Structure 1
Amino acid sequence: MSSHTKKRGIVRKLIDNSFLLIAGALAALIWANVAHQTGSHSYHDFVHFDVTSIWSGHVDVANVSADHAADVSLVSAVAPHSADQAAGHSDAGPQGIVSQATHGLSFHFIINDILMALFFAIAAKEVWESLLPGGSLNEPRKAATPLLATVGGVLGPALVYMVGTYLTGSTASLGNGWAVPCATDIAFSYLIARVIFGAGHPAIAFLLLLAIADDAAGLMILAIFYPQAPIVPQWLMLTVVAMCGAMLLRRSKVHSHWAYLLGPGAVCWFSFYQANIHPALGLVPIIPLLPHAHTDLGIFAREELDRHDTLNEFEHFWKLPVEFFLGLFGLANAGVVMSSLGTGTWLVLAGLLVGKPVGITLMTLFAEKGLKLEKPAGMDYRHVVTLGMVAGLGFTVALFVSVAAFTVPGAIQDSVKMGALLSFAAAPIAVVMGRAFGIVPVSVTAETENEDSDADTVTALSA
């Protein structure tokens, strides 16, 4: 193998393992802190730059207050019904959270609301396939314990966070962020779990089941609890129209994913935007309607790369671009100054680093002792507690929910974002816990070595 091929392989492996997201987040942190020290507004001006000014010649980002939702310029170019909100008439509730949609064609809006729709579409694809025959969530009997653990992984962090806001007297200002520590980052948690448990350990399958179910819960939480303004339900009729259009394309045996994306997908995104449901979720309803295989091989199964149904081709085409979009997401959202450490930071970290492992462990214990369900063979509570800490790595979705929960840029939003970023601390803590508990990594078996996937290890859940 040539050195060029090796180098290209290493670069692709880094990209596939979310290196760009980390690089974007680090670049944002450095840029924001350097700008803060020099009194510059360059980072803020970049994130909230109004792209329509490129052809209109009118740049007004410098006049947007850093303490307000800065990406409100020229909203009428995108959605006339938001023009009054952009002019400063949005209603702020008692928690200081803007209750009206206040975004325009800023870089922030393009990245968070348009490009991230493809990220959530791929997440929805994994959730949907896991429900198919052979999928990890297809048989409730197999998935019951991890699903209950997921409930603990959502309720535990939310409870710890809300108790923390009560004890610190910050419920009014920070209470809306209860869902920030509920997230689990599948990609990063999977990588850390493999280091601790090894590729062949049943804890890997347990974690993937939990993370997929957590993704599904996260999508529902975003849609239900974090609308960008009061929901306008009549616009959801357009979602139904888009879904009918996707079914018609499928019945007509249209294979190209572009037809579904640019047709029903665009209509569905627009309906979510107009209904004030976060438009980043706008592609989710059409994902199950794309032509797809009737079985699932596993979230990281290599055989999935050989499938050419429309749903898999959609993922194959967009997987690499989405990694770059995640890099932009990190760049546009992680720019907080180190002085932003505050109550919100510690509440999010408490939810992720305490609430996650405690919630997952207690619900697993309840499933086993109370409901007489079983843990996967080869797992004991050393593995469950350590796995719970691994799941405390929220990062991507936690950062996204931070922005959805606190829509007004400022000290509160930044402190919560900092907690999401610092959730990386879960990784070294989990590694140390694994060593302290004497957990030995388990290598893949001969059958799974060629696959390098969770497709076979997930069967351990039925043991």
Structure 2
Amino acid sequence: MYRVSPFVRHFAISLVLGVIVATLWVNTGPDSYYDFIEWRLFDLSMPGWISPITASITPASLTSHVMMPFFMFFVGKELWEAVTLERGALSGAQALVPLGGVIGALLGAALLWVATGAAIEVAEEASFGVGWQVPLGSDVVLCYLFGRRVFGSGHPALHLLLLVTISCDFIGLFLLGLSYPRGGLLSLAWLALPIAASGLVWLLYGRFGRSHSPERKHQRAMQLWPYAVAGLLSYLGIAAAGLPPALGFLPVIPAIPSAARAFGLFAEAEQLLNDPLNRLTHLMTRPLAVVLFLFGLTRGGIDLGAYAPTTLTLLAAFWVGKPLGFLAGCALAAKALHRPMPAGISQSDLAIVALLLGVGFTVPVLAIDTSLPGGAMAEAARLGIGLGIAFGALGLVLARFLRK
């Protein structure tokens, strides 16, 4: 198992710094902070046959809808390689138990959100089950930051933690988009555009990426611009379909030539590879640290006085529903399918992975703005996310005890 590259730690530090600056700002000068993140840079009017809605581009929407898709592409590439490549961390039958855990974590988080909210929620704007999409996602870089402190940079459990958090993020975003499609269900017809773009770029370029292809076609397949164009078309199709723009580049990943084998998630060894998929992600490494700082700055302002029952609802879903659901899902999958746990993962390691799933930020924050009524309820949920990150630091103590 190869070591995880240190740039993931730099991502986590950038995100945390952005959250800290935003939290200090919103608690000392809330008017100026909200004026900044909601500052209308320009209005984007689309043709009526694409979208009848005129979008106002603000610093908050710019980071969430334009910059974050690059980060999701970056982590989506790792999940794709883990599932499809030789020696991938989730290739073949070894994916079944973690997949059961992911399904259990999502169900546990959603069910406990609904049950807790029904019992204690008092907000006038709340309705039964509203916001159940918020606790589905997690946070890849923050979970890595905590997991590395427990397992080290090359432990199989750290790779399992990263795979599970990436899976929760993507499924959470997809369910969020299906729950609140902008433009109605008919707009989902726009999904034909990313499918067509991905299929066409694979047919003309991507399928010649292997070394056994004719040299001229192989060299053409190693260019980056065809995949960049396909990615842009895919992004436009996803956004026009009403799904979260953060998913915009993902459909193109299978069409881009990649390495023949996996080295592990975010492995240092990948820096030596020159296939188009790895080259694209190498180009993103430094800019993404800035993107995550800006995302933390524009979306991470936590009002420390925003406590409400929604805060407890979120904490219950994150720190009770999701870990218990993950453990139950793994156990049921292992028993029903007669499959062992992934190699090198002990029961205590699995418990720590479940515990660290309670740390979430990026995708839950995106879900708050879509699935919760604005105002006090949304800010109370954001406070719960901030407290959850703090609880993650305390969880390191318990995690080290479990390892002993």
The TM-score bracket by the shorter chain reads: 0.7 to 0.9
Structure 1 residue aligned with 2:151, among 180, 193, 197? 197
**Structure 2 CA distance for partners of 1:321 and 1:264, relative to 1, 3 Å:** same
**Structure 2 CA distance for partners of 1:123 and 1:199, relative to 1, 3 Å:** closer
Q: Which residue of 1 aligns with 2:195?
A: 240
Deviation at 1:208, TM superposition (A): 3.3
Aligned amino acid, residue 379 of structure 2:
D
- Higher alpha-carbon Rg: 1
Contact kept, 8 Å, 1:24 with 1:330, in 2: the verdict is yes
Q: Relative CO higher for 1 or 2, CA cutoff 8 Å, sep ≥ 6?
A: 2
Supply the RMSD in Å over aligned alpha carbons. Answer: 2.6
Q: Does 1:421 pair with 2:373? A: no
Q: What is the alpha-carbon distance in structure 2 between the residues aligned to residue 173 and residue 195 of structure 1?
A: 40
Q: Which residue of 2 aligns with 1:456?
A: none
Q: 1:235-262, CA deviations, whole angstroms, 9 ceiling, x for partnerless residues?
A: 223223322442224355243334422x
Name structure 2 gaps, 5 residues minimum: 1-5, 209-216
Deviation at 1:116, TM superposition (A): 0.9
Aligned amino acid, residue 272 of structure 1:
I
Aligned amino acid, residue 429 of structure 1:
L
Q: What is the alpha-carbon distance in structure 2 between the residues aligned to residue 209 and residue 105 of structure 1?
A: 33
Q: In percent, how many aligned pairs have the same letter?
A: 30
Deviation at 1:130, TM superposition (A): 1.1
Contact kept, 8 Å, 2:70 with 2:249, in 1: the verdict is yes
Structure 2 residue aligned with 1:299, among 241, 265, 276? 265
Q: Does 1:123 pair with 2:78? A: no
Q: Which residue of 2 aligns with 1:362?
A: 328
Q: What is the alpha-carbon distance in structure 2 between the residues aligned to residue 138 and residue 379 of structure 1?
A: 16
Alignment of 1:445-456 (within 5 A): none
Q: What is the alpha-carbon distance in structure 1 between the residues aligned to residue 7 and residue 180 of structure 2?
A: 34
Taking structure 1 as the reference length, the TM-score comes to 0.75
Name structure 1 gaps, 5 residues minimum: 1-11, 53-73, 87-102, 441-463
Contact kept, 8 Å, 2:44 with 2:56, in 1: the verdict is yes
Q: What is the alpha-carbon distance in structure 2 between the residues aligned to residue 42 and residue 293 of structure 1?
A: 47
Q: Does 1:410 pair with 2:382? A: no
Aligned amino acid, residue 175 of structure 1:
G
Aligned amino acid, residue 385 of structure 2:
A
Contact kept, 8 Å, 2:310 with 2:381, in 1: the verdict is yes
Q: What SS is found at the alignment partner of 2:339?
A: coil
Deviation at 1:423, TM superposition (A): 1.8
Q: Which residue of 1 aligns with 2:139?
A: 185
Structure 2 residue aligned with 1:396, among 359, 362, 365? 362
Deviation at 1:119, TM superposition (A): 1.0
Deviation at 1:369, TM superposition (A): 4.4
Aligned amino acid, residue 356 of structure 2:
V
Q: What is the alpha-carbon distance in structure 1 between the residues aligned to residue 119 and residue 137 of structure 2?
A: 23
Size of the alignment, in residue pairs? 383
Deviation at 1:202, TM superposition (A): 4.2
Contact kept, 8 Å, 2:355 with 2:395, in 1: the verdict is yes
Q: Does 1:314 pair with 2:266? A: no
**Structure 2 CA distance for partners of 1:411 and 1:183, relative to 1, 3 Å:** same
Taking structure 2 as the reference length, the TM-score comes to 0.86
**Structure 2 CA distance for partners of 1:242 and 1:424, relative to 1, 3 Å:** same
**Structure 2 CA distance for partners of 1:227 and 1:419, relative to 1, 3 Å:** farther
Structure 1 residue aligned with 2:95, among 143, 147, 167? 143
